[in-house]
C-alpha cells in the first residue's frame, strides 16, 4: 500500500492523522468518550503542525486525533493510519530500527509503586509486579540493578498502562507496578489510591520523542526545527508549567514537578536521544 508522505498530505489536504493515548496524563489524555485529547504532547503537536502548515502555505490545518495504545501505535504508524505519534514514547536504540524519532521532548525515570501490604516481606517471597508488557519499564526491571537488591520480583505484563494500573489497584495478588515516573504519579493522583508508596530510587532514564514513519526524513527535520523554535521561545516555560505545575484540565490535581536539570538539558540539546 502506497502511503502519502506527511508533508505532501499536509500541503494537499491541510490535515494530518496523529496518534495520541487516552490514559497518559499529562502528555495526552481524554475524559470524553468521543476522544478529544489534551496534554503537554498534544500542545507541542498543535504548535509544530500549525507552524509546518504555514510553511506549506496552509493558514489553517487540521489534526485528526487517532486513539492508540502502547501495543498498536507502531503498527498504526507503519500502516499509514497515523502520520505521527505524539505522547510519551521513549526513544530507544531498538525502536529506532522501526521508526524515526523527533528531538527529545521530555526525560523521565522508571519508578516502582508498591502496596504497603507487601512492603515488609524482607525478601522472603517474590513480589508480583505488573506493568506494560515488553515496555522500556519492563526491560529496565529485568536488566537494571533493582532498587532493593534483596528483593525478588515476578513480572506479569499488561497491554497498556491503564490496564496495568487497574490490575495493580484491584488484584490483591499484585504487589507493585512499574512505569515511567510522571505517568505513574498522574495515575496515582487521579485514582486517589491509599496504602501505596514509591520505592525511593528510580530505574534508569529515558527520553521521550514523537514517533515518525521511517523514510519521512524531511518531515522529521521540519518537526525538529519547530520543536527547537518552541523550546527557545519565551512561551515554553508557561506551556511546561501548565501541564506540570498547575491543576490538570478536567482532572483537578497538579503534579508539582518543576523543570528538572534533565528536562533543561532536553530543552537545550538538539540531540534526538538525550542520555543523562
- Per residue in 131-180, pLDDT (tens digit) is 988 877 787 777 765 556 566 788 999 988 889 999 999 999 999 999 88
Q: Do 91 and 215 share a structural domain?
A: yes
Q: Do 213 and 146 share a structural domain?
A: no
Residue 1 lies in a domain: no
Tell me the DSSP string of 13-56.
HSEEEEEE-SEETTTEE--STT---BSHHHHHHHHHHHHHHHHT
Instruction: Check which CATH number belongs to the domain holding 231 and give it.
Output: 3.40.190.10
Q: Do 89 and 39 share a structural domain?
A: yes
Residue 274 lies in a domain: no
Quick one: pLDDT band at residue 274, thresholds 50, 70, 90?
very low
Is the pLDDT at 1 greater than 80? The verdict is no
Q: What domain range is 140 assigned to?
A: 109-205
- What is the pLDDT of the chain when averaged over all its residues? 89
pLDDT at residue number 275? 46
Query: Three-class SS of residue 206?
Result: strand
Residue 59: CB atoms within 10 Å: 8
- The rounded radius of gyration (Å) of the Cα atoms in the chain is 19
Range 94-99 average pLDDT: 92
Residue 181 lies in a domain: yes
Range 47-51 average pLDDT: 97
Q: Do 195 and 127 share a structural domain?
A: yes
Q: How far apart are the first and last CA of the chain?
A: 40
Contact of 69 with 28, CB cutoff 8 Å: no
Q: Do 242 and 197 share a structural domain?
A: no
Range 15-44 average pLDDT: 95
CA distances from 14 to 17, 57, 226, 227, 251 (A): 11, 9, 17, 20, 32
Instruction: State the maximum Cα–Cα separation within the chain, in Å, rounded to a whole number.
Output: 65
CA distances from 153 to 164, 206, 244 (A): 16, 22, 31
Residue 275 lies in a domain: no
Cell reading at 261: 536539570
Global pTM value: 0.86
Is the pLDDT at 265 greater than 90? The verdict is no
Q: How many domains does the chain have?
A: 2
Amino acid at each position: 500500500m502506497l502511503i502519502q508522505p506527511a508533508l505532501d498530505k499536509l500541503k494537499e489536504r491541510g490535515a494530518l492523522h496523529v496518534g495520541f493515548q487516552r490514559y497518559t496524563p499529562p502528555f495526552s489524555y481524554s475524559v470524553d468518550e468521543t476522544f478529544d485529547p489534551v496534554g503537554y504532547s498534544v500542545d507541542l503537536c498543535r504548535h509544530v503542525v500549525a507552524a509546518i502548515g504555514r510553511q506549506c502555505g496552509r493558514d489553517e490545518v487540521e489534526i485528526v486525533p487517532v486513539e492508540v495504545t502502547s501495543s498498536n501505535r507502531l503498527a498504526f504508524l507503519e500502516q499509514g493510519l497515523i502520520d505521527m505519534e505524539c505522547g510519551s514514547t521513549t526513544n530507544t536504540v531498538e525502536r529506532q530500527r522501526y521508526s524515526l524519532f523527533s528531538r527529545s521532548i521530555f526525560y523521565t525515570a522508571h519508578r516502582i509503586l508498591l502496596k504497603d501490604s507487601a512492603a515488609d516481606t524482607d525478601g522472603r517471597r517474590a513480589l508480583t509486579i505488573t506493568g506494560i508488557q515488553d515496555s522500556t519499564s519492563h526491560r529496565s526491571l529485568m536488566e537494571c540493578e533493582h532498587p532493593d537488591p534483596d528483593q525478588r520480583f515476578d513480572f506479569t505484563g499488561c497491554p497498556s498502562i491503564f490496564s496495568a494500573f487497574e490490575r495493580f489497584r484491584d488484584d490483591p495478588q499484585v504487589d507493585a507496578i512499574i512505569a515511567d515516573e510522571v505517568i505513574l504519579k498522574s495515575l496515582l493522583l487521579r485514582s486517589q489510591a491509599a496504602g501505596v508508596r514509591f520505592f525511593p530510587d528510580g530505574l534508569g532514564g529515558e527520553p521521550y520523542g514523537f514517533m515518525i514513519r521511517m523514510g519521512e526524513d524531511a518531515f522529521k527535520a521540519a518537526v525538529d526545527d519547530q520543536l527547537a523554535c518552541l523550546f527557545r521561545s519565551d512561551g515554553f516555560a508557561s506551556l511546561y508549567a501548565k501541564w506540570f505545575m498547575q491543576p490538570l484540565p478536567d482532572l483537578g490535581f497538579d503534579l508539582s514537578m518543576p523543570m528538572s536539570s534533565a528536562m533543561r538539558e532536553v530543552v537545550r540539546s538538539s540531540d534526538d536521544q538525550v542520555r543523562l
